[in-house]
Structure 1
Amino acid sequence: MAGGINNVGQSGLSYVDQLKALQGNKKPDETTGKQDLKQEDFLSLLTKQLAQQDPFKPVGNDQMIAQMASFATVDGIGKMNNQFDTLNASMTSNQALQASSLVGRDVLVPGAAGVKQADAGMAAMVKLPQSVENVFVRIENEAGQLVRTLEAGAKPAGDSRVEWDGKDENGNPLPAGKYKVKASGLMDGENKEFDVSTYANVNSVLLGKGDGNVLLNLAGFTSPVRLAEVLEVGKA
């Protein structure tokens, strides 16, 4: 017989190694495809270990406590993971509920590409690393053609809002669609391009695919945007 609770037969495998071996031999669940060890698996293995121990060298109290502590730790980790999954689902639902108040409002999202609605203009935010004497804003259509140039004037360092009335150089309203806002200016004697973010209207709110993300469907955007990417919430 094996000497001590740490052995089954003559395998010489530790308690943890035997658990791993048992898990590896379990067939995947037909419905979920998972390989999970349940509480009865641990108890069954522990009972077999006790039944096969050497009666002349019975397990000591310290070994028994160590085995039970290992079992309690593994079982506790499994329960904690389940609790975290429940908490994550609850937090995602709460985020989605809060984000629902954004429907119909404008939000600022990274990227120079924005959507112009019919009979309306566009607003954007230019991020300046330092103050600039004169900021120039260029509006390009979806084909990359320049349709309007604006002189925004002097701007301080930080975020500066710029607006376009939706018209071309001759004052004619341009059709609805996607447009790109670009900003540049002289900085330290050189012409520099600056980061631009644009505003978009929120159509609806979506829950992520089990990853805890809340997604926003924006007017004119083909792909949703994560709530965490929103830089600012504008007017309704």
Structure 2
Amino acid sequence: MATSFDTTLNTLGITRTSAAAATTTTKSSSSLGQSDFLKLMTAQMQNQDPFNPVDNTQMVAQMAQISTTSGISEMNTTLKAMADKLGVTSTSDALSYVGKTVLTEGSTAYGRSAGGIAGSVELAGAATDVNVTISDANGAVLKTMSLGKQAAGTIGYDWDGKDTAGADAGSGPFTVAVNAQSNGTTVGATSLVWAPVQSVSTTTGAAVLTLPGLGEVPATAIRQIG
């Protein structure tokens, strides 16, 4: 049933739409600004029936509705500006990664200048036995290290670059595989490796790091910066 508010809108040539419909129409045809509201209120008071004036409660409700809509619009504008600012900050931070090493999920690692590699194992639960196996580029196992019993969380390890016979394994690339068991039951384990940041791309809006052996990795996937 049409109200006096709707009638006044029709008199002014304005069609009020529902919230759902407003999302598919343009702002100029579906929303009212402060100047529109003042014009509407003046016309409504001029055209009201003197024997049946607009109810004060209804007028207050209309004013509150316009105020709320205006406030939401201003809030959305502010939030967008904040999001844009945060995006610029994230990009600036990502660019500072170039030349540094980062810890991220992966199974390929290159040897350090001093030899060997360092990495971590991310455990989804407690384990009674955690093993890290390092192989060469051809898949031959060089070393298997036992980290023993570990609680859930991240555990670091360091390999000196020597194979089981004590020979220097070279600079890699090496393949890292992790395995965790809890009394014979497999526990979720993720391999984390250190890698130098070669370059940063922000063409998609989000910062993406290029890491040797790992390819493109989003900055949000970085666990630690060395």
Give the structure-1-normalised TM-score.
Answer: 0.66
Q: How far is 1:107 from its partner? A: 0.9
Counterpart-to-counterpart distance in 2, 1:173 and 1:194? 26
2:193 corresponds to: 198
Change (3 A) 1:70 1:223: same
Counterpart-to-counterpart distance in 2, 1:118 and 1:152? 18
Alignment gaps of 5+ in structure 1: none
Counterpart-to-counterpart distance in 2, 1:232 and 1:38? 49
Q: How far is 1:98 from its partner? A: 3.1
| 1:215 pairs with 2:223 | no
The 3-state SS of whatever aligns with 1:224 is strand
Aligned counterpart for 1:94 among listed residues 89, 102, 108:
89
Counterpart-to-counterpart distance in 2, 1:156 and 1:25? 56
Percent of aligned pairs sharing the same letter? 22
Letter in 1 for 2:142: T
Aligned counterpart for 2:121 among listed residues 126, 130, 145:
126
The 3-state SS of whatever aligns with 1:198 is strand
| 1:114 pairs with 2:108 | yes
Superposition CA RMSD, Å: 4.3
| 1:165 pairs with 2:161 | yes
2:142 corresponds to: 149
Q: How far is 1:137 from its partner? A: 0.9
Counterpart-to-counterpart distance in 2, 1:25 and 1:68? 22
Counterpart-to-counterpart distance in 2, 1:224 and 1:186? 29
- Which stretch of the first structure deviates more once superposed, 113-122 or 199-208? 113-122
Alignment gaps of 5+ in structure 2: none
Alignment of 1:22-41 (within 5 A): 24=22, 28=26, 37=31, 39=33, 40-41=35-36
Change (3 A) 1:46 1:25: farther
Q: How far is 1:172 from its partner? A: 6.0
Counterpart-to-counterpart distance in 1, 2:215 and 2:90? 22
Q: How far is 1:25 from its partner? A: 11
Counterpart-to-counterpart distance in 2, 1:138 and 1:221? 16
Q: Contact conserved, 2:143 with 2:163, CA < 8 A, in 1? A: no
Change (3 A) 1:74 1:224: same
- Which stretch of the first structure deviates more once superposed, 83-92 or 186-195? 186-195
Letter in 2 for 1:8: T
Counterpart-to-counterpart distance in 2, 1:214 and 1:59? 56
Change (3 A) 1:26 1:196: closer
Count of aligned residue pairs for this structure pair: 214
Q: How far is 1:84 from its partner? A: 0.7
Superposed CA offset, 1:84-114 (max 9, x none): 1111111222233333332211111123x32
Q: Contact conserved, 2:133 with 2:145, CA < 8 A, in 1? A: yes
Q: Contact conserved, 1:127 with 1:195, CA < 8 A, in 2? A: yes
Counterpart-to-counterpart distance in 2, 1:3 and 1:54? 15
Give the structure-2-normalised TM-score.
Answer: 0.68
The 3-state SS of whatever aligns with 1:7 is helix
The 3-state SS of whatever aligns with 1:74 is helix
2:225 corresponds to: 233
Counterpart-to-counterpart distance in 2, 1:75 and 1:168? 71
